[in-house]
Structure 1
Amino acid sequence: MSLFNPIFNPLLPRMTPGGSSVDLPEDSKKFNSHSPDPQTITKIVITASVVGWFVFGIISILIINGNGRAGRWVPEWYLDSRGKMKHKLAVLGWWVFVVLFWPLLWVGYTVKKIVGGFTACFGKCRRRGEGLKKLNSKSSADEMGKAYDTAV
């Protein structure tokens, strides 16, 4: 069988690259074009950006609430509440806030981790320095004691 068979003639425009069916509306043909116009590109980019924003917002909710007693969807503080309507609305508000403002939350989280890492590093260095000072003062006192013992 050949593709040029009369049975396949209605499908032929759909099978060719960039081809489309005759009964498609003019607006949908823009998406099938090899070089869509700027308005079509803008529609695609905006749609992908909005979908990506919501996906990363949902991922942020799951990560932020990830280790809680209530699972991944409910914050810890909701378990301590009585589950009244105001608490349910607060959880809904939390979800909306995280979905809309997740970049700000991640910037704050990253800054917190960096500052915490530097603080821990400097704390270890300070403790090591204090330990070395104690060790040096102990060893110098021991040497002074030995010198005193030998002098007497």
Structure 2
Amino acid sequence: MLLFNPLLPRMTPGGSSVDLPEDSKKFNSHSPDPQTITKIVITASVVGWFVFGIISILIINGNGRAGRWVPEWYLDSRGKMKHKLAVLGWWVFVVLFWPLLWIGYTVKKIIGGITACVGKCRRRGDGLKKLNSKSSTDEMGKAYDTAV
């Protein structure tokens, strides 16, 4: 119990052994003002944007032979300063413009899926045509054989 005596005033609701400045008390209130809400929303949005940008970098390079942080094309370069700056620029581009990259990726996947589906339908159609033509020639042959 002696160990927790310094923490006891902090454990009671409303009790604080630390004097907080007036600005930080705004965040602890039950109904913060609109400016405080705006600060919280902007902070959360910026942090979320960067987190999704970093996740995008990891996903884009996830299957690369260079690991998750370095693009494939960097391995083919000699690691000069301009190549390192290009990688840094690429990271900045992905972190800032990840929504555009994901829209392009999604559109590419949708078009690829539609193309694959159309290709399967065409192959099935060709197969059905071949079956129909084969069965019709067989029937014609049978009809011819029986008629002779």
TM-score above 0.5: yes
Change (3 A) 1:32 1:14: farther
Change (3 A) 1:33 1:21: farther
Instruction: Find the residue that maps to 2:30 and give its secondary structure.
Output: coil
TM-score normalised by L of structure 2 = 0.87
1:20–1:29: 8 Å Cα contact kept in structure 2?
A: no
* Greater shift in the superposed pair: 28-37 or 47-56: 28-37
Structure 2 portions without partners, runs of 5+: none
Higher-RCO chain (CA-CA 8 Å, sequence separation at least 6): 2
Structure 1 portions without partners, runs of 5+: 1-6
**Deviation >3 Å, runs of 4+:** 7-22
Change (3 A) 1:147 1:32: same
Shift of 1:15: 3.6
Change (3 A) 1:74 1:9: closer
Q: Deviations over 1:25-78 (max 9, x none)?
A: 111111111111111111111111111110111001000100010011111111
Change (3 A) 1:8 1:64: closer
* Distance in 1 separating the partners of 2:7 and 2:34: 29
* Distance in 2 separating the partners of 1:19 and 1:122: 69
Change (3 A) 1:130 1:8: closer
Change (3 A) 1:63 1:112: same
Change (3 A) 1:18 1:42: farther
* Distance in 1 separating the partners of 2:18 and 2:90: 49
Shift of 1:122: 1.2
Aligned length: 146
Residue 7 of structure 2 corresponds to which residue in structure 1? 11
Residue 48 of structure 1 corresponds to which residue in structure 2? 44
Change (3 A) 1:146 1:134: same
* Greater shift in the superposed pair: 9-18 or 42-51: 9-18
Shift of 1:14: 3.9
